Amino acid sequence: MSLRDELLKAGLVSADKAKKQASDDRKQDHQRKKNKALAAEDVTHQAEARRQAEMEAARKRERDRQLNLEREAEKQRREAVARARQLIDSHRVNEPDAEIPYNFLDSDGHWIRLVRVTPTQRKSLATGRLAIVRGDRHAFDFALAPRETAGKLQEFAPERVILLHTESENQEDDFREI
């Protein structure tokens, strides 16, 4: 026998109040069960939302890292271009009154290009003491530069060095051996 039945027998509680209390108890039980299911479902949704947020944060970090790498590469490329331009402009030995045409193949090997040189510069080109390097002022900006400058350019901008013969002390001695 339950407490409710005993209270009804003793006359301390009316039948209507006992029914109402039983109904309220059933409703509370139902609500508790429903809340447990909702709580479990809510925990599942929270875990899923947290997992998706972590995945999105990881994607964003990766995207930001990739953008930073691209920005850094672009910055290094611009710095290399500026260094090459400064190096070529400061060591250019082209003479405006040079009249001897010196033909050479462009870096792609398809076009014959021409630069005007003096007899001394021509000999220096043949012996490898001078090099032809590409400036970036316009399409036909070819500069004569010392071998050391061409060597520095080859370290960070090898596409700028168009012509650099192997160095020899005396070109005429090389021809005598043949």
Helix (H) or strand (E) holding 119, with range, is helix 119-127
pLDDT in tens, the chain (178 residues): 777 778 778 887 788 888 888 888 888 888 887 787 777 777 788 888 899 999 999 999 999 999 999 999 999 999 999 999 999 999 999 888 889 999 988 777 778 888 999 999 999 998 999 999 988 877 678 899 999 999 999 998 888 888 888 877 665 554 444 4
105 touches 113 (CB < 8 A): yes
Delimit the domains of the chain by residue range. Answer: 1-91, 92-177
For 57-86, the DSSP string reads HHHHHHHHHHHHHHHHHHHHHHHHHHHHHH
104 touches 111 (CB < 8 A): no
Determine whether 84 is exposed, middle or buried from the number of CB atoms within 10 Å of its CB (0-12, 13-18, 19+): buried
Q: Give the pLDDT score at 66.
A: 97
113 touches 103 (CB < 8 A): yes
Q: Give the pLDDT score at 171.
A: 52
For 11-39, the DSSP string reads TSS-HHHHHHHHHHHHHHHHHHHHHHHHH
| Residue 37 to residue 43: CA distance in whole angstroms | 10
List the strands of the sheet with 142-146, edge to edge: 142-146, 130-134, 161-163
* Nearest alpha carbon to residue 101 among 110, 89, 112: 112
68, HSE (Cβ side, Cα atoms, 13 Å): 6
